Amino acid sequence: MDNFEERLRNLEDLSEKIKVPDVSLEDALRYFEDGIKLAKGMEKELDAIEGKIQTLMNAGDAADPKDDDGPAGETSAGADADGDEKKTRSRGAKKEKPKPEMSLFGGV
pLDDT on residue 62: 72
Residues of the chain with pLDDT under 70: 1-2, 63-108
pLDDT on residue 60: 76
User: How far apart, in Å, are the Cα atoms of 70 and each of 6, 57, 60, 75?
Assistant: 43, 16, 16, 8
pLDDT on residue 108: 43
Contact between 8 and 42 under an 8 Å Cβ cutoff? The reply is: yes
pLDDT on residue 1: 44
pLDDT on residue 79: 52
